[in-house]
């Protein structure tokens, strides 16, 4: 069996079903992992901007880091589980807790200095104005 977990398994903690049997795991079936989860995103454009949306429910704005340049956006963060439930008391655990990240290559150049990010109802929205390659800037010769 391939020991590498799929995106869905890393995201949800679910177990892969093979040949109609659930893979067996040792008695520590809920275990902490040092792997980072990958954040799911929607990326789309409007006439003037590129927009990224990501569900970040349960993540405080201080626990998010967004880095932008003209061609790429990297979102990193951590979803912390405040409850202290013993592993033996879980029937299932599908929510992803821990560090996550996502790097998105943008379909066109954007202006990082005019970009902004907001969180509303657990949804991170990053708006990035498109670069206007037709705009001409005259330089004054000194």
Residue 30 has a pLDDT of 42
Residue 79 has a pLDDT of 86
One-letter-per-residue 3-state SS of 48-98: CEEEEEEECCCCCHHHEEEEECCCEEEEEEEECCCCCCCHHHCCCCCCCCE
Residue 43 has a pLDDT of 96
Residue 66 has a pLDDT of 95
Residue 24 has a pLDDT of 44
Predicted TM-score (pTM) of the model is 0.67
For residue 27, with 0-12 CB atoms within 10 Å meaning exposed, 13-18 middle and 19 or more buried, which class applies?
Answer: exposed
What's the average pLDDT block by block, 10 residues per block, for the chain (142 residues)? Answer: 60 55 43 70 94 91 92 91 81 83 92 92 94 71 76
The highest-level CATH class for domain 36-82+93-129 is mainly beta
Residue 27 has a pLDDT of 41
């Amino acid at each position: 069996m391939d020991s590498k977990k799929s995106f869905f398994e890393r995201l949800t903690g679910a177990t892969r079903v093979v040949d109609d049997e659930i893979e067996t795991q040792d008695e520590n079936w809920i275990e902490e992992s040092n792997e980072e989860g990958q954040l799911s995103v929607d990326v789309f454009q409007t006439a003037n901007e590129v927009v990224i949306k990501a569900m970040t429910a349960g993540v405080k704005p201080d626990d998010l880091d967004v880095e932008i340049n003209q061609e790429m956006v990297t979102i990193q963060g951590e979803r912390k589980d405040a409850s202290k439930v013993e592993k033996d008391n879980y029937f299932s655990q599908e929510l992803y807790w821990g560090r996550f990240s996502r790097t998105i290559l943008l379909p066109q150049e954007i202006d990082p200095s005019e970009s902004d990010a907001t969180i509303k109802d657990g949804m991170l929205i990053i708006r990035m104005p498109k670069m206007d390659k037709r705009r001409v800037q005259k330089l004054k010769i000194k």
